A and B are shown apart, each in its own frame.
Chain A
Amino acid sequence: KAGVTQTPRYLIKTRGQQVTLSCSPISGHRSVSWYQQTPGQGLQFLFEYFSETQRNKGNFPGRFSGRQFSNSRSEMNVSTLELGDSALYLCASSLELAAQGIQYFGAGTRLSVL
């Protein structure tokens, strides 16, 4: 079974641009969660999608948005990029809601904002 796939692996953008990151979960998994990882901050939860619906959202500004498609693939969009958005963005999939069990992580997308 294929693991969680995130594309692209690396991105370089400039301030003010927007970016879209993609996540393909493990086959059969219905939940996809997104995290921002920065040095010293650990993993900060962005949002969780389950069966195409956003179920939970973290404390991030509205510039961060996402969606999930009928095949469970998910995209995350960040508009009007700021320098502070530079981070590793991880997605994780799980069979049911993330809080109910184990999450399986992708390798991440490293976003650099110049």
Chain B
Amino acid sequence: AQTVTQSQPEMSVQEAETVTLSCTYDTSENNYYLFWYKQPPSRQMILVIRQEAYKQQNATENRFSVNFQKAAKSFSLKISDSQLGDTAMYFCAFSLPSSGTYKYIFGTGTRLKVLA
């Protein structure tokens, strides 16, 4: 069975600094997607970044980048130049696009607080 683990329930970072959120997953499949979603205090969850497992190059999106280590089944999110608006709950997620049954699994989340 596929699992997603986020081992850091809470983290904090000073404004303008860099922070890395950890995520590990477990699967025997070879073709899958990995995601980081952000849920600000207003609750609407939005996609931060997506990584396709067959792509070796790490995805980046402005200040957000991932370190995708397929062999280690690790998918960490790095936020550079942290801003107060980055304060949110961050969820790592995994999906199996070829599966006939539902396979979109979320971790339990990391609550990030950016300090002024």
CB distance from A110 to the nearest CB of B (A): 8
Number of interface residues of A (CB under 8 A): 28
Known contacts A88-B43, A90-B45, A105-B46; A98/B102 CB under 8 A = yes
Residue-wise, chain B 33-70 has the 8 Å CB interface mask toward A (1 for contact) of 10101000011111100100000000000000000000
A78 sits at the interface (CB 8 A)? no
Q: Name the prevailing secondary structure of the B interface residues.
A: loop
Pairwise interchain contact B95-A99, C-beta atoms closer than 8 A: yes
A-B pair number, CB within 8 angstroms: 58
Whether A45 and B107, one on each chain, are in contact in the complex, defined by CB atoms closer than 8 angstroms, is no
Residues of chain B within 8 A (CB-CB) of A105 are 37, 44-46
Query: Contact between B35 and A102 (Cβ–Cβ < 8 Å)?
Result: yes
Q: Which residues of B contact A61 (CB under 8 A)?
A: none
Given contacts A90-B45, A106-B44, A33 and B108 within 8 Å (CB-CB): no
Q: Does B73 contact A (CB under 8 A)?
A: no
Instruction: Confirm or deny: A101 has a beta carbon within 8 angstroms of a beta carbon on chain B.
Output: yes
Do A42 and B95 touch (CB < 8 A)? no
- Contacts A106-B44, A107-B44 given: A101-B97 contact, CB under 8 Å? yes
Q: Are B102 and A56 within 8 A (Cβ)? A: yes
Q: A100-B95, A107-B42, A108-B43 are in contact. Are A42 and B109 (CB under 8 A)?
A: yes
Interface, chain A (partner B; CB < 8 A): 3, 33, 35, 40-43, 45, 48, 55-58, 88, 90, 92, 97-108
20 new A-B contacts, CB < 8 A, other than A3-B44, A102-B50, are: A33-B102, A33-B104, A40-B108, A41-B108, A42-B91, A48-B102, A56-B102, A58-B102, A98-B102, A99-B95, A99-B102, A99-B103, A101-B33, A101-B95, A101-B97, A103-B47, A105-B44, A105-B46, A106-B44, A107-B43
